[in-house]
Amino acid sequence: MPRLLDAARVRAGARILDVGTGTGAAAAAAARRGADVTAVDAEPDMVARAGEAAPTADVRLAALPRLPFHDGEFDAVVGNFVLNHVGRPRQALGELRRVTRPGGRIALTVWPVPAAAGQALLGRAVRAAGVTRPADLPALPAEEDFPRTEDGFAALLGEAGLQDVDCDTLVWNHRTTLAEWWSGPAAGVATIGRLVTSRPPAVVAAIEGRLRSLSAEFTEADGTQPASRGPAGPRPGVRRPGRIPVAPGGGTPRPLAPGTTDEQSRSP
Ligand SMILES: C[S@@+](CC[C@H](N)C(=O)[O-])C[C@H]1O[C@@H](n2cnc3c(N)ncnc32)[C@H](O)[C@@H]1O
């Protein structure tokens, strides 16, 4: 989060938009820096949660690719793992550019493809259980897609007219428990969760079993569990290396074609 806010030059007094704010983590962090924060999300329950997390922020219900703001209203926009959720990323980028003042900053993250090893685990478990992606799951049309690499993301931002684009991949080790890792898809979170919960109970159990066996790859070599050494006490662990392209950019708004739909683009 600090890298994202630094990339957007979030500082005291800056007018910041956190788009796709979710639970409001970036909005709250920006508010702690003294920024004048506005946040939007497409989901009403997320708007409520963000409002609690960032009580000084102006939190609203709004969805890309259309935002209820004037041209150049913000010094900077941040969007943490949001562009990978919109059906028309190019049009969404144009809108972010429109609401950012000339010379302002836009800092975004997307998940990379191919995914990092730990992140790919759930998909491997699904496939190992013989489950294939249903045709009716929303997918980004080929003409809207872009390579989820540093070069591919940077090119997309350049195409949108952003200048001085820079894109890095962040890598980290995420330590979690098998139960925690399974809880998201088991509750239907994200595309992979919808895929899991649309299956009969026996298939869901098979996926969970495959996840359990595959996750053994991530257990520490000495047999201990990665998360068992911390002050939180013993618990089984799965280690997930994560990678995020982070792309700050800036530039002068240019008009984009109207009309779009919103859909989940890819499973992380
Ligand atoms: C993966 S979450 C990230 C949330 C938050 N940025 C964070 O870092 O925790 C993606 C968020 O984007 C929101 N979202 C999805 N499509 C959107 C759209 N078209 N416009 C605005 N928000 C959207 C979702 O409701 C969700 O809260």
Rounded CA separation 146/156 (Å)? 7
Q: What are phi and psi of 166, to 5 degrees?
A: -140, 135
Is residue 265 one of the residues assigned to a domain? no
CA of 3 to the centre of ligand 1 (A): 18
Task: Please write the tens of the pLDDT for every residue from 214-262.
Answer: 988 887 655 444 433 322 222 223 333 334 444 544 432 222 222 222 2
Is residue 266 one of the residues assigned to a domain? no
Is residue 137 one of the residues assigned to a domain? yes
Domain containing 137: what range?
A: 2-260
> In the predicted model, what is the mean pLDDT of residues 27-38?
98
Q: Are 265 and 139 in contact (CB under 8 A)?
A: yes
Is residue 268 one of the residues assigned to a domain? no
CATH number at residue 161: 3.40.50.150
pTM of structure: 0.81
Contact partners, residue 236, CB within 8 Å, separation at least 6: 177, 178, 179, 219, 225, 227, 228
Task: Please write the tens of the pLDDT for every residue from 50-100.
Answer: 999 999 999 999 999 999 999 999 999 999 999 988 999 999 999 999 999
Is residue 68 one of the residues assigned to a domain? yes
Beta bridge partners of 16: 37, 76
Is residue 221 one of the residues assigned to a domain? yes
Is residue 229 one of the residues assigned to a domain? yes
Rounded CA separation 150/148 (Å)? 7
**CB 85 less than 6 A from any atom of ligand 1:** yes
Rounded CA separation 76/103 (Å)? 9
**CB 82 less than 6 A from any atom of ligand 1:** yes
Is residue 182 one of the residues assigned to a domain? yes
Residue located nearest, by CA, to atom 15 of ligand 1: 85
How many separate domains does the chain show?
1
CA 192 to chain centre: 14
- 90-99, 184-193, 199-208, 228-237: range with lowest mean pLDDT: 228-237
**CB 80 less than 6 A from any atom of ligand 1:** yes
